[in-house]
Structure 1
């Protein structure tokens, strides 16, 4: 053992002796040397899950070290004395590390509690109207999917005024036309700030109760006032069990302002675009029912796919877009929801006041929503619906074989889909699309194409981690989001490794919290992302994220040195 190592151990031993109470009253000291058990007194206010470790580790360290002292005074063999003292020292060091972790965890918990109270505020004020189709002025069709058509709409609703480009504004007679572009329909948005989604009803019957129950998955992002008071009492028994009433508002998840049933109208383009799903009173050959579900949402300028067809984001802007998708997916997972059909067509986009793209996840028709939050679907038959887009289906979902007591775990499936969409965000073709594309059920990770060289190494590492075939080795959306947050804003805090590095990281978190609070409630994308990060701080996830970052950087450094 080197002199430096011996001195270091001696100092740690002295600190442990001091911490374990040798300077306490003589009665307690004598009891320790007699080998009597002296229970440690846990700190007041410590979370109950930590008290067990503090009591047992402190008590164990005291007993082992006192045993070492007895053997030393009784003339025991040098080997036994060394073993007992070293082991007691090690336990004391573990207890010291747990003490630091408890302090860091308390700091993270305090920051989380502070920012979790600052909930995202919707621009819609409490209303008593808007529950009838006649309350809305309908414009042109702006979207059509496999089970619904979307039209722009307007209504005299009490929205708060916004000055940002392409945001929800109050409809007035004297508003200017503004700028136009092929992908950002600013003029149309000013006149029609809302969007009405009309579901196609070909099997739910014509009663309101049966329609709401059959299409209840569409109500997962509904606001607290979306349904009429009498409909709120319905038990929304979707195909996958009882659904949560609502998912709390989040800046990266669509919000349904109103949901109601009404007779299917003959809207513009209906006879040409979807005649088969119309009711017989509108089309004699139609197979649809007379009534269906209507959802009222904010009107967004375009989808993510449409935006990327005419724009190539820079590396920082692309990283912020990827981070928003991960924040949205993490929010859904925390509420016990798996989207199961995540693709660039189901992500809507607008620009904030800094002209940065703001992304929201939409279209929840294929979602799995469970009140227990397990996100495990019993897969006992081939007829069980695995989800939406087969091309972007996570490997654990695509390769699942039905059988007794078989469950599909969707807790990381959406995060995998975000990894595939990141290629589109950074200007590349999605590797899982097309006739020559990879298949999620059989591809190997080495087959994944490289992202452009301009994309930072940390971001490329996150994409590779998200696309791991083994879901157990794949990070959660929360951990992946933390890695990007730290990479963007916490590089200096990660300069050191080990416990000192973690202390620096916690200090940086406190500074970051103060900056966000001083900045106020800004509505820019970066401000919203930083608030989301601070509102979900957990020490375990932070440790994991730092570990991934440091390991990735060590590997890259080793590759540089080897070349």
Structure 2
């Protein structure tokens, strides 16, 4: 419990005394208290006691419990010593109130210690990427490139394989070990499984218009793409280049996370004539490949895992179950929270920039990708000075948070991106639950001017907790909008704490801490769910426990959305 909250509880207790009629004149009581302040002053001073003071006196000076005892004692002395009824009531009520506050603070200290211990246990085990250790792969010639699998506004993506790195066991294959399908013909894996086995990697070729053809210039210009790069993604000599990027600072490298893409290799090479290049993007080719092309001879290539499809492609043909939809939204919040904790704002979050695969239970696993528009400054403030209209606000204008799209450039103006990606998750949740994104349609809403009451309702089948979290994420005022961490905690408590925390109003932080300990034991006992690694639910539970913070948890716990909802009782099923 915060000090502010504790004091307010004490004041509420005093107010109840007034309402019971024990005190008739508020003004006179205040005057009395001011007069009596000097008699009880030693117990409320904030000056630290001197070492030579008796231990009992130091206890009164530094402990709320000691203050409560002194106030109660003063109340009884006035009771039997002829003090006025008003003073007796004030001292007794306030003394009892401070005693209760001390007990609650003690419970909070124990709960905070429990959260820290659990966080320490689960933070030690970092997320392990599926990449097999190897030392090659820094040249385009090291890879076998297949067909084009995607194209955006600044890059084309091709399927690829790396025969130089066979999987464990010595079989011929590629550097990423893919699990076998559990069932032949399962709809979630049927169309792309063969291609993924043959080409488990994806190579992203950036389009280079104005960065020049030197490796140093290319890496500096496209440094934001390297934010999710692994430790050995670049050659050692290229790691020494000062990648100052568009904002004049060294961009961050985020640590591995199950819901954030991982770049295994990044290198520069001559632009090749890949399949579909002359038809799909002739203008970005260099003059040696297309006389009318405007591109430079060299560009940046990024090597990543190959995912079957994007979130948008999946939702065009599939409808996730209620529970799967909740887990998908929760994964996006966990990914955004991971980026925010490391000082990165994606600034272009949309269903096209989220990749998707399936775990061993058939649940969609989401991965945030495409960091070309991200803000990754070294100070981790997530605040961008906006002193000119030429400052880049980010990517997709339709999914810019209100505080971003309404910002007016000027001296001293900054745009705070700390909750902008969380707002975008709220908008994407409409797509996850089978609705049109309200900010995409031609006659839809504009983030610049919409009113919260204009937001369309989600389908009635969507859990009430998820509906509430979505509405909170889409609040216009960022100060009234939950952070990605708090919103994720609200869904975590709803999904896994509904039975243990069913009577929310009648329990305190101690019972919540007990539930956290039980949840930790369950997750540790489960461990990995087989050779395929963690399932989506296991990954989410571990993310929750490794990011425990008492204040964030209290904020989520006190929200109405953390109460149990019957609609969340559905068991996980495949879509």
Give, in whole Å, the separation in 2 of the partners of 1:468 and 1:236: 36
2:540 is the counterpart of 1:533: no
Change over 3 Å in CA distance of 1:208–1:169 after alignment to 2: closer
Change over 3 Å in CA distance of 1:372–1:424 after alignment to 2: same
CA displacement, residues 349-388 of structure 1 (integer Å, 9 cap, x when unaligned)? 0011111111000000000012222101111111111110
Change over 3 Å in CA distance of 1:469–1:521 after alignment to 2: same
2:527 is the counterpart of 1:516: no
Partner of 2:556: 545
CA-CA distance at 1:527 after TM superposition:
0.6
Gaps of 5+ in 2: 1-12, 18-38, 50-58, 566-575
Change over 3 Å in CA distance of 1:402–1:175 after alignment to 2: closer
Q: Secondary structure at the match of 1:386?
A: coil
In the superposition, the TM-score normalised over structure 2's length comes to 0.83
Give, in whole Å, the separation in 1 of the partners of 2:293 and 2:562: 59
2:124 is the counterpart of 1:117: yes
Pairs within 5 Å for 1:106-505: 106-158=113-165, 169-170=176-177, 184-498=191-505, 500-505=507-512
**Contact 1:178–1:186 at 8 Å: present in 2 too?**
no
What RMSD, in angstroms, separates the aligned Cα atoms of the two structures? 3.2
CA-CA distance at 1:283 after TM superposition:
1.1
Q: Secondary structure at the match of 1:322?
A: helix
**Contact 1:479–1:541 at 8 Å: present in 2 too?**
yes
**Contact 1:217–1:243 at 8 Å: present in 2 too?**
no
CA-CA distance at 1:66 after TM superposition:
4.4
CA-CA distance at 1:494 after TM superposition:
2.6
Give, in whole Å, the separation in 1 of the partners of 2:178 and 2:97: 69
Change over 3 Å in CA distance of 1:403–1:59 after alignment to 2: farther
Gaps of 5+ in 1: 10-32, 43-51, 555-563
CA-CA distance at 1:204 after TM superposition:
0.6
Give, in whole Å, the separation in 2 of the partners of 1:530 and 1:551: 16
CA displacement, residues 199-245 of structure 1 (integer Å, 9 cap, x when unaligned)? 00101111111110110000000000101111112222111242444
CA-CA distance at 1:38 after TM superposition:
11
Give, in whole Å, the separation in 2 of the partners of 1:443 and 1:53: 55
> Which stretch has the larger CA shift, 493-502 or 364-373?
493-502
Pairs within 5 Å for 1:13-32: none
**Contact 1:156–1:171 at 8 Å: present in 2 too?**
no
**Contact 1:330–1:478 at 8 Å: present in 2 too?**
yes
Give, in whole Å, the separation in 2 of the partners of 1:375 and 1:396: 13
Change over 3 Å in CA distance of 1:180–1:147 after alignment to 2: farther
**Contact 2:43–2:61 at 8 Å: present in 1 too?**
no
CA-CA distance at 1:59 after TM superposition:
4.7
> Which stretch has the larger CA shift, 358-367 or 95-104?
95-104
